Structure 1
């Protein structure tokens, strides 16, 4: 019996408006809006209209949840394809924001495309850290979460990591047999980030660290603030553009889906945030071969499987120079999110990646 999830057409069932008073954190967004539109009353007016439309627009009901294959602590692995005897393909999202960016909607779902193409596609959902997970750093997300999920599979998989998920996937591939690994917009060489961006991130973290340590976690709002700081003008301009979109249009639905995803997500454990900001962004531990996982230094030269690095020349969140240098290198000209869910994602990434997976047993 086919247990793969069936898509729900966006015109069939609609739920309530945005569940949160987003964008999150709203006070900071309003501060940026006011600052970026100073001297431009028309842009300010349209941005406020777009904001109100976003907050009150009705959303389509989500599709049925795919079946759970395995669980390790708060993390789960769900299946989109069927076990057809080929190597499972595990898609590993970032710890930041929910995994739904890889299954955003009926028309923008890399996972459903891969399943329909014939891959035994699986997706990791990192879940929400508990009060006992404050000391769980990035290394333990590999050893205590990702590796047990991989071990639950009947045969060695192919790993496909997106953003920080690719960084974690590379560590897993050095510690557990896999058929191949591909990373998409994943950071590894952190001195490949512009100095100004690293300084902005350091300032943000220095201001938030003591509170996060007391809480035991890094709130999603802290992370979102960092993303907005990289390009505040674009943050406001896209809401102004939403004010002019036709209700119910594909463009409007796509905007809401992306913004709902970007404004959602669980916090990071404090230790994971500390590792990310102190050891990777500030210290470039991965790029310099000083990141230790399970007592081993993570060195890309230790990979013993075919590998692919997909990077973008227009990515502000993970610049092309920060991506890992692997066996194969693909360069796209799409943004960090657009490369996986944009209108050109099917032809520029999904289909070529599907062919690459097939050539390596997936």
Structure 2
């Protein structure tokens, strides 16, 4: 449940330096005969810049500093780019497992973090350590009951104990919803926004073959695999999401060759390649829980999920919620996301919108600013005051 590249998807590198060249590079100038002079000039300029600099996209990270170090996780605060507005409540971003956290911080000019900082809002993000012996033993309850709440308390401590907005993408969105549903921590949550977070996996075509195999084998095949490996490997995560857009991968050389004059599209493709190259492994125990309770049992859709031996029900979420689905998302189809609207019965302000883009595109696509980002900004503004 993380990102698959789609035409309007963007991402950024995992370092503060500019990204290396996209794998495979740009094709040679060919097939431009007969095109307008201006088109040829733009295409030539893009190829020249790529040849000179080794990349086109500016994927430097927005500066951030750690404010809280935990066992296997870190809470960071992004450095403000505009005067901080005390009337705007802070926002904590929650990335999914498997995908790099920099999906929120895209190439310059196309970054949700950059866009939010420009409004004067303080932005924080929690990141996870996916390596080490202990990582494989971490279950979903760790994120729901410990990591997300600890991050919220760390931020609230800096803001006179005021509640904090939460926004997550994909599995990160489910973490935010479940953290709000769990009453264990008493975390100070002001609102929750979930981008492309599938609640009903029966509506996800990609999952259907896995559910069939699980039914036939009683779940033993996948259980044996992740227990033996200790995790769901990063390479497997990458392959799984590439399968969701295999046609686009096959036609990528043609897309590059026929869009050499489209600088923004070329930057976008390059950034998505960087994202895919930085996928990480799913911790073994967490993947096992996802497999048995979400993929195989579809417990979330029935609001019957149990963590650490107790029920964690979306019906208990009593804060405002914004659900954003991607119109072209094959990992979290509209129906899979919309199912949550039938379960979040206690939310005082429940909003559901469908916006252009795929799984990553709805969060980070070229049309996100005027669509999902605008929805988020309006929702946060409506709930900045308690």
Name the TM-score, length of structure 1 as normaliser: 0.78
Shift in alpha-carbon separation, 1:116–1:14, aligned structure 2, 3 A: closer
Matched, 1:354 2:377: yes
**Residue number in structure 2 paired with 1:76:** 74
**Separation in structure 2 between the aligned mates of residue 328 and residue 293 of structure 1, nearest angstrom:** 26
**Residue number in structure 2 paired with 1:43:** none
**Residue number in structure 2 paired with 1:340:** 363
State the Cα RMSD in Å: 3.0
> SS where residue 126 of structure 2 aligns?
strand
**Residues 318-337 of structure 1 mapped to structure 2, 5 A cutoff:** 318-323=332-337, 324-325=340-341, 326=344, 327-337=350-360
Instruction: Provide Cα deviations, 1:110-135, integer angstroms capped at 9, x if missing partner.
Output: 01111111222212222323212222
**Residue number in structure 1 paired with 2:167:** 160
**Separation in structure 2 between the aligned mates of residue 225 and residue 209 of structure 1, nearest angstrom:** 19
**Residues 227-266 of structure 1 mapped to structure 2, 5 A cutoff:** 227-246=241-260, 249-266=263-280
Compare 96-105 and 118-127 and name the one that shifted more: 118-127
Matched, 1:279 2:290: no
Q: How many residues align?
A: 318
* 1:242 Cα offset (Å): 2.4
**Separation in structure 2 between the aligned mates of residue 107 and residue 91 of structure 1, nearest angstrom:** 19
**Residue number in structure 1 paired with 2:100:** 98
Instruction: Provide Cα deviations, 1:221-249, integer angstroms capped at 9, x if missing partner.
Output: 11222222333222222343124443892
* 1:184 Cα offset (Å): 0.9
Equivalent residue for 2:224, pick from 189, 206, 210: 210
**Separation in structure 2 between the aligned mates of residue 222 and residue 202 of structure 1, nearest angstrom:** 19
**Residue number in structure 2 paired with 1:306:** 320
**Separation in structure 2 between the aligned mates of residue 116 and residue 64 of structure 1, nearest angstrom:** 12
* 1:147 Cα offset (Å): 1.6
Shift in alpha-carbon separation, 1:202–1:122, aligned structure 2, 3 A: farther
* 1:14 Cα offset (Å): 4.9
In 1, are the aligned partners of 2:326 and 2:361 still within 8 Å (CA)? no
* 1:15 Cα offset (Å): 5.7
Instruction: Provide Cα deviations, 1:178-205, integer angstroms capped at 9, x if missing partner.
Output: 11111111011222223x6421576599
| Bigger RCO of structures 1 and 2 (CA < 8 A, at least 6 apart) | 2
Point out the structure with the larger helix share.
Answer: 1
**Separation in structure 1 between the aligned mates of residue 102 and residue 220 of structure 2, nearest angstrom:** 30
Equivalent residue for 1:220, pick from 226, 234, 239: 234
In 2, are the aligned partners of 1:190 and 1:284 still within 8 Å (CA)? yes
* 1:255 Cα offset (Å): 0.8
**Residues 83-232 of structure 1 mapped to structure 2, 5 A cutoff:** 84=86, 86-154=88-156, 155-175=162-182, 176-194=187-205, 197-200=207-210, 209-232=223-246
Compare 261-270 and 156-165 and name the one that shifted more: 261-270
Compare 75-84 and 309-318 and name the one that shifted more: 75-84
In 2, are the aligned partners of 1:162 and 1:184 still within 8 Å (CA)? yes
In 2, are the aligned partners of 1:77 and 1:122 still within 8 Å (CA)? yes
> SS where residue 328 of structure 1 aligns?
strand
Instruction: Provide Cα deviations, 1:257-298, integer angstroms capped at 9, x if missing partner.
Output: 111112213211101111122220111111112222355312
Shift in alpha-carbon separation, 1:313–1:61, aligned structure 2, 3 A: closer
> SS where residue 371 of structure 2 aligns?
helix
**Residues 14-29 of structure 1 mapped to structure 2, 5 A cutoff:** 14=18, 16-17=20-21
**Separation in structure 2 between the aligned mates of residue 286 and residue 73 of structure 1, nearest angstrom:** 27
* 1:168 Cα offset (Å): 0.7
Compare 92-101 and 122-131 and name the one that shifted more: 122-131
Shift in alpha-carbon separation, 1:268–1:16, aligned structure 2, 3 A: same
In 2, are the aligned partners of 1:171 and 1:293 still within 8 Å (CA)? no
Name the TM-score, length of structure 2 as normaliser: 0.74
